[in-house]
Chains A and B, each alone.
Chain A
Amino acid sequence: ILNVEQSPQSLHVQEGDSTNFTCSFPSSNFYALHWYRWETAKSPEALFVMTLNGDEKKKGRISATLNTKEGYSYLYIKGSQPEDSATYLCAFKYNDMRFGAGTRLTVKP
């Protein structure tokens, strides 16, 4: 069974704090690693798709890195804002698409 693990399950930070989450995935038979942000009452929104070992992607204050050899990806948020509050999902693409359970981020003003 190919499992995608995310940690922590939830995180509460103050506005302005920087934070990071971890996604672990099977390191063999890798096609792509996706990150999504899912806000309450909305649909998941794509952040990044990474395919190569060592990939680094950045979108505003959010960035992600990928290590396919050891099977992990980090998502970083610099200077968290209340609007960053959401569940962050990673997904491992092999034959199917396997999502982790997500990290629920709450940013307090």
Chain B
Amino acid sequence: KAGVTQTPRYLIKTRGQQVTLSCSPISGHRSVSWYQQTPGQGLQFLFEYFSETQRNKGNFPGRFSGRQFSNSRSEMNVSTLELGDSALYLCASSLWPYNSPLHFGNGTRLTVT
């Protein structure tokens, strides 16, 4: 069974640009969540989607948005990039939103210059 696939693995952008990150969950998983990790910080929750509906959103500015498609694939978008957005972005999929373990992708390393 293929794992969670995130693309791209690495990304370099300049301030003010926007970026779209992609996540393909494990087949059969309908729940996808996104996390940000910055140096010195733990994993910070960004969003959670289930069956194309955003269930929860973390404490991030409106520049961060996401969506989930009918095939459960998910994208997140960051507009007007800031230097502080440089981070590792992890996507995770699970069968259900509440008590199923998360299966993480390898992440996208975003560098904003």
Contacts and interface: CB of A to CB of B under 8 A. Distances in A.
Contact of A32 (B55, B90, B98, B105): B98
B16 interface: no
Nearest to B45: A96
Contacts of A46: 101-103
A53 B99 CA distance: 14
Interface string B68-92: 0000000000000000000000101
A44 B45 contact: no
B42 A34 contact: no
Given A43-B106, A43-B107, A99 B42 contact: yes
B43 A31 contact: no
B101 to A, nearest CB: 3
Interface of B: 4, 33, 35, 42-45, 48, 55-58, 90, 92, 98-107
